[in-house]
Amino acid sequence: MDITFSHVSYVYHAKTPFERRAMDDVSLRIPSGSFTSVVGHTGSGKSTLVQHMNGLLKPSKGAITAGDITIRANEKNTKLRTLREKVGFVFQYPEHQLFEETVIKDVVFGPVNFGVPEAEAAKRAEESLRLVGLPPEYWNRSPFDLSGGQMRRVAIAGVLAVQPEVLILDEPTAGLDPRGRKEILGLFDELHRKGNMTMIMVTHNMGDAARYSDQVIVMNDGHLVMADKPEKVFVRKNELREIGLDIPEPMIFLDDLSEKFGGEYTDPVFTIEKTADAVVRILNGGRANV
């Protein structure tokens, strides 16, 4: 399911002393089946952008189309429930939204709320819990007896049980330790690759955006600054730094190393393997190791 923005603007607290334009004339396209990361400093408009994708916010101007559903400014839309079923939203710290007495009941709640019969909802819940890697011995426990990482998996399973076509992730690794962070990102990457699910991730981590994404969207002060493949976005390092962002850590390291040898490294590099190859080239004066 493609998602497109056509000249979308959004104003918080319109026509009050607290009026603030959070998005200004944004047009973009997120292709079906893609993995898109949205980056920008605090207050750049990235969270406002993704909240329009499942109707949590409605545009002040312009239109958003998700599949066959279009939301336009100043028009009432009767398909928001359908939109939110197709476009799931995993909020930052989603475990704070858990409330049922057992894990399985919490995961069942989502699909039942969208009208799925209880037997089918229970089947979906079990499939989703297996998908996020939570074994059956945890399903009848209280979610509040689990670790933080396990609680987050339960919350994600609750969204997946609705079977959305698109999954929006708002800072999905916030508060996790390095191992938990790697596991959660690996889960989303697998869902994207094996299930062809469209992923849209808001993140402050440029390395995560570079490694997992097909497309990176850069927001600044409510404006769309860039929307392109990671390798085309992160070579524009001076422009990124001007708006308070940086490049992935391997590229920072290679910049520093190149400078010590009196040169400049400009190629986009995101993985350990490619970083190692680049180090060899720098040490060999720009030549590959033969």
The pLDDT > 90 percentage for the chain reads 68
- Give dist(CA 251, CA 273) in Å, integer: 13
pLDDT in tens, 58-111: 999 999 999 999 999 988 888 899 999 999 999 888 888 899 999 999 999 999
Query: Which of these ranges, 188-192, 206-210, 255-259, has the smallest mean pLDDT?
Result: 255-259
pLDDT at 11 over 60: yes
Instruction: Look at residue 188 and give its three-state secondary structure.
Output: helix
- Give dist(CA 222, CA 286) in Å, integer: 40
pLDDT for 205: 92
pLDDT at 287 over 80: no
Angle between helices 118-131 and 148-160 (to 10 degrees): 130
Domains of the chain, with CATH numbers?
3-245 (3.40.50.300), 251-283 (no CATH)
Average pLDDT over residues 148-168: 93
- Note the pTM of the prediction, 2 decimals: 0.89
Tokens representing 165 are 């076509």
pLDDT in tens, 225-246: 999 999 999 999 999 999 999 9
pLDDT for 148: 85
Average pLDDT over residues 137-143: 94
Helix spans in the chain (H) = 46-51, 80-86, 103-113, 118-131, 148-160, 178-195, 206-212, 230-233, 237-242, 249-260, 272-283
- Give dist(CA 248, CA 268) in Å, integer: 9
pLDDT for 83: 94
Query: Which of these ranges, 37-51, 101-115, 265-279, has the smallest mean pLDDT?
Result: 265-279
pLDDT at 120 over 50: yes
pLDDT at 157 over 90: yes
pLDDT for 286: 60
Provide the β-strand partners of residue 198.
Answer: 166
- Give dist(CA 119, CA 86) in Å, integer: 21
pLDDT at 290 over 50: no
